[in-house]
Chains A and B, each alone.
Chain A
């Protein structure tokens, strides 16, 4: 759905679709954060000039159709296996840039083993991890990241941690692996945090390009539809409640990754 824009001669075009994104409307619900993060990834791919060298790995989850929105080569992995598939791709395409884009059910429940081991091997991969504390695609069931007491369609009286376990802190876990070079938890819930998240995503791609190790950017996000909240309220709720269980911050950044920031 491309919109023709006529720009007066005395003005510059300063905001447009990134080249790395296709100009179609997405299937995401109104107020969903997936679209915002897609845009950030697209902008980073453009800024780094790697569109033709990038291979994306889509998850099973609401972002299952991510390949429709990125104008790069893509594969659609099995649920939770994105980082195993990405490993196979990167190992036979060492000069290409491979990223996975995964939800919390995908990365932190069914794919925990694949995730931890890809990080631990120090695969030269970039993972964008959308933590919305719920299984969005299947209709709002409890995720490994669901907050204590949070009502979902499979925890109707609220998550009881004594029965269902506790919200799993993947960034903290991944930071423990020797192969991880850069692990950070950001949020995409207001303008300042979006600007900061984009910097983190860029660093995570640069980390791969420079061959420094595994990089993961966890992004706290919302799922207004399955949280039964309006988009605005969901942003506020996420800022208050999610950050309590998922503290923001960089959990691992090797010196070599630190040095990257000057290459912005």
Chain B
């Protein structure tokens, strides 16, 4: 398949369809709406389910229903919509059905604006809903990567019967760049739906999809099982990309669009003779704690850059565990940090730790 010029939102939507997406439910919100618009045509063309819901509350519960039937299903949204989905996200996690939700982050809080942001990090990695759970959170930094991560998201969701969120941001959703779409995968035929799915109990005992477990002991047992699964995910699914870290004395940590900007920062810093490296988490949950701990023991200082007031920062500080000073460069409200600003903070860190 050849490369094409693709907009991020259209690219991940088409990639989802080609990865066997059987049902999409969504509600328009900028900067994500092109995904919904693309699928409104393409899903119907392919004879699949597309439905514009009356709200994000309804959309996520439709996803919950379709996921309970064992089909590949997803929705996509941005912060205000994700907030409305919190209820459904928790039910999906509690009843262990596989589902994928793409969040193309915009500035907040409140209605905020429609510029790129990373201020939903806490929400997605730590508090996506009530109760004890974490979704897997994937963080793409380019149109190609969001395409690839949609496929990965469905595979992980199916493998672990879990919720997978994709943490995009407004610039990844809106930008156009050349990327390659995956080949078309066939849909899972109905008889191959998982044996736990609710499809009618003909010839077997009834299946039940629920997150209700009366009795403290029962629910604790379920929680212990969920935690064991999360532990397995922590052990097996951490993903990150490193850039020039081998001899790095200063370490940048950034994800998504800021991660991509930071590759330029590293190049510029290297030109100026500074030994700077970058670790770009591709999974925000599970977080690359172990690798950061290793690097923390080796480097003089760490600089975290984010489009937020410092959310991933807390996870980096936890992982580095005071082995090196951790400093922060953050922009908010939809402001995308410039290479020079980050370089300036790197210089300060260099001075401070020399």
- Point out residues on A near B: beta carbons under 8 Å: 51-55, 57-58, 64-65, 67, 70-78, 81, 84-93, 96-97, 113-114, 117
Q: Does B10 contact A (CB under 8 A)?
A: no
Question: A84 to B200, Cβ gap below 8 A?
Answer: no
Q: Which residues of B contact A113 (CB under 8 A)?
A: 54-55, 57-58
Bound-state CA distance A88–B69 (Å) is 9
* Stretch from B202-210, B275-283, B304-312 that touches the partner: B202-210
Question: B88 to A78, Cβ gap below 8 A?
Answer: yes
Nearest CB in chain A to that of B71: its residue:
A92
| Residues A55 and B200 in contact in the complex (CB < 8 Å), given A78-B87, A91-B66 | yes
Which B residues from 36 to 89 make CB contacts under 8 A with A? 49, 51, 53-55, 57-59, 61-69, 71, 73, 87-88
| Residues A88 and B91 in contact in the complex (CB < 8 Å), given A73-B200, A76-B209 | no
Instruction: Kindly list 16 other residue pairs between chains A and B, CB separation below 8 angstroms, not including A77-B61, A78-B88.
Output: A53-B200, A71-B206, A73-B206, A73-B207, A74-B198, A74-B207, A74-B208, A76-B210, A85-B65, A87-B62, A88-B64, A88-B66, A89-B68, A92-B22, A92-B71, A96-B200
Question: B61 to A78, Cβ gap below 8 A?
Answer: yes
Q: Which residues of B contact A93 (CB under 8 A)?
A: 69, 199-200
What are some 20 contacts across the A-B interface (CB < 8 A)? A52-B202, A55-B199, A55-B200, A57-B65, A58-B210, A71-B206, A73-B198, A73-B200, A73-B206, A74-B207, A84-B65, A85-B64, A87-B51, A88-B61, A88-B64, A89-B65, A89-B198, A90-B65, A117-B53, A117-B54
- Pick from A76, A81, A117: contact of B208, CB below 8 A: A76
Bound-state CA distance A210–B9 (Å) is 39
Select the residue from B62, B65, B209 with max chain A CB neighbours within 10 A: B65
Q: Does B124 contact A (CB under 8 A)?
A: no
Q: Which residues of A contact B255 (CB under 8 A)?
A: none
Q: Does B272 contact A (CB under 8 A)?
A: no
- Pick from A53, A75, A84, A87: contact of B209, CB below 8 A: A75
Bound-state CA distance A84–B66 (Å) is 10
Nearest CB in chain B to that of A86: its residue:
B65
Question: A85 to B212, Cβ gap below 8 A?
Answer: no
4 tightest CB-CB pairs across the interface, nearest first? A88-B65, A52-B202, A88-B62, A84-B61
Question: A81 to B58, Cβ gap below 8 A?
Answer: yes
Q: Which residues of B contact A52 (CB under 8 A)?
A: 200-203
Q: Which residues of A contact B198 (CB under 8 A)?
A: 55, 73-75, 89
Q: Which residues of A contact B23 (CB under 8 A)?
A: 88, 91-92
Question: B201 to A91, Cβ gap below 8 A?
Answer: no
- Pick from A64, A76, A117: contact of B58, CB below 8 A: A117
Q: Does B25 contact A (CB under 8 A)?
A: yes
Bound-state CA distance A144–B262 (Å) is 55
Bound-state CA distance A117–B201 (Å) is 28
Q: Which residues of B contact A75 (CB under 8 A)?
A: 65, 68, 95, 198, 208-210
Q: Does B178 contact A (CB under 8 A)?
A: no
Q: Does B211 contact A (CB under 8 A)?
A: yes
Q: Which residues of B contact A114 (CB under 8 A)?
A: 54, 57-58, 61
Nearest CB in chain A to that of B66: its residue:
A88
Nearest-neighbour CB distance to chain B for A114, whole angstroms, equals 5
Bound-state CA distance A65–B210 (Å) is 10
